Structure 1
Amino acid sequence: MSSFLSSAGRQPAGRSRPVAAGVLTGILAGTALALAAPLAAVAHVGVTPSSTAAGSTTQLTFAVGHGCEGSATTGLTFTIPEEIVSVTPTVHPNWTAEKVLVDLAQPITDAHGNSLVQRVGQVVYTANTPLEDGFRDTVTLQLTLPADANGSTLAFPVLQTCEVGETDWNQVADEGQDPHDLDHPAPAVDVTAAVVDHAAPVVGAELSASAASGRTTVAEPDLVARGLGLAGLVAGVAAILFVLFFRRPAARVAAPSKGSDS
């Protein structure tokens, strides 16, 4: 009986090994697919704006965390949309920044009244030390979004050059197309409506308006404060007078003389 049970509990080695190998292969394949999806989603040059409101000044932070098929990154060339005239690159200790100017079709006047015949067409960041594949770094551009760009998408194509090869992130999604479906999507900013600045009224202006209309609403809190302060002063003086003139002195107990022992 014992020999029968032991033989029944054992499985042939030829069957158990293929089953275990198949299970292990399935686990590894599933893990590879689970990791491949997130990596594919982040395998591009991304941009994070500090503001997306039309007409606002924004800092666009571009991030890169991979090379060109494993090769280290040596340069990033940003193409600036035609709607933007001026760009201020942020200094980075590991990158050398350069602005490339292009001629305007027609001269324009900037916010300071200066006549401009050129604009910043590209910004080139050259790595002082190549950025190895798998290491992340960021560079930032400051610019003003066009005041009339509400509802539009501004693309900033980036040419990533590496020690071996290059990758041109210049694809722009068509209307209704998901940018994640593109092989090399360009970083883009969706411009939103301008923000209206409801500034608080100036105190001086309120006083002038009150004086002109004959109202004293601004001065009323001052009169109330003075009245409360005067009442407090009177109450304090009354308390001091009460202590000085109306409190009865405590009875004194005479000390016994030395000679009276009886």
Structure 2
Amino acid sequence: MVTVPDGVGNVTPVVEGGWSIQRTLGDNGVPTTVTYTADTPIETGLAASVSMEVLFDSSAQGETIRFPVVQKCVTGSTSWSEVPEKGQTAEDLDHPAPAVTVGPKAAQASDGHGSSTTDATADAAPEADPVARWLGAGGLAAGVIALVVAIVAATRRRGRSDG
């Protein structure tokens, strides 16, 4: 289960084979949690991934947004929700929450004709291309989920080799 944090304007889970998806929607229609359930248990030694497209609010610009994840397996669960304290990094934690640092808005391209505007809106910050924002945020979210799956697979292997 992925908890959708503040700073996220919308989440669209991507439907891929092998997974069932459940969403809990907030009052504004934006998912507050997304739960992916494998149709069959993932065999040891194999990796699986899920993805979702994420649109960040403009208020998240420059912020690190953490996506707490609870992974439930046939034999237990792990909460990937630890947040580094001041002076720590994610590498210092046993179960860090996946994180994405949101960059600045993309600049709007010129019209290519060398035209300029002279009205009062010329000094206003340009709006980001919504398609670019969706694609960029979706790629970041897919990377976050893939990171969690890779960490889980490594932890499973390490746990089995220790025992």
Give the alignment's TM-score, normalised by structure 2.
0.64
Instruction: State the Cα deviation string for residues 74-100 of structure 1 (Å, max 9, x = none).
Output: xxx000012224211001101011111
Confirm or deny that 1:199 pairs with 2:110: yes
Offset from partner CA, 1:132-170 (integer Å, 9 cap, x none): 232111111102112122221100011100001101101
Equivalent residue in structure 2 for 1:121, among 32, 40, 48: 32
Report how many aligned residue pairs link the two structures.
Answer: 116
Task: Look up the SS of the partner of 2:25 in the other structure.
Answer: strand
Partner of 2:20: 96
The residue number in structure 1 matching 2:4 is 80
1:157 maps onto 2:68 in alignment: yes
What secondary structure is seen at the aligned counterpart in 2 of 1:132?
coil
Secondary structure of the 2:50 match is: strand
User: Which position in structure 2 is the counterpart of 1:135?
Assistant: 46
For 1:183, the equivalent position in structure 2 comes to 94
| Percentage of pairs with the same residue | 36
Give 1:127 deviation, angstroms. 0.5
User: Counterparts of 1:132 and 1:86 in 2: how far apart (Å)?
Assistant: 32
Give distance in 2, aligned partners of 1:142 and 1:102: 17
Shift in Å at residue 123 of structure 1?
0.4
**In the TM superposition, what is the alpha-carbon distance from 1:202 to its structure 2 partner?**
4.8
Q: Residues 152 and 176 of structure 1: is their aligned pair in 2 closer, same or farther, counting only changes over 3 Å? A: farther
* Alignment partners' CA distance in 1, 2:84 and 2:44: 26
Structure 1 length-normalised TM = 0.41
Query: What is the rounded CA distance, in whole Å, between the counterparts of 1:134 and 1:200 in structure 2?
Result: 51
CA contact (8 A) 1:82 1:121 kept: no
- Cα gap change, 1:85/1:120 in structure 2, threshold over 3 Å: closer, same or farther? farther
Q: Distance in 1 between matches of 2:32 and 2:9?
A: 8
Give the SS at the match of 1:168: strand
Verify the 8 A CA contact 2:68 2:79 in the aligned structure 1.
Answer: yes
Say if 1:99 and 1:202 are closer, same or farther in 2 by CA, change over 3 A. farther
* 1:84 partner letter: V
Paired letter, 2:61:
N
Cα separation, 2, equivalents of 1:143 and 1:150 = 14
Per the alignment, residue 129 of structure 2 pairs with none
More RCO (CA 8 Å, sep 6+): 2
Query: Structure 1 122/169 Cα, relative in aligned 2: closer, same or farther at 3 Å?
Result: same
- State the shift of 1:182 in Å: 0.3
Conservation of the 8 A alpha-carbon contact between 2:10 and 2:56: no
Decide whether the 8 Å contact of 1:98 with 1:123 is kept in 2: yes
Q: CA RMSD in A?
A: 2.0
Assess if the C-alpha contact under 8 Å between 1:85 and 1:120 holds in 2.
Answer: no
> Unpaired runs of 5+ in structure 1?
1-76, 104-115, 207-262
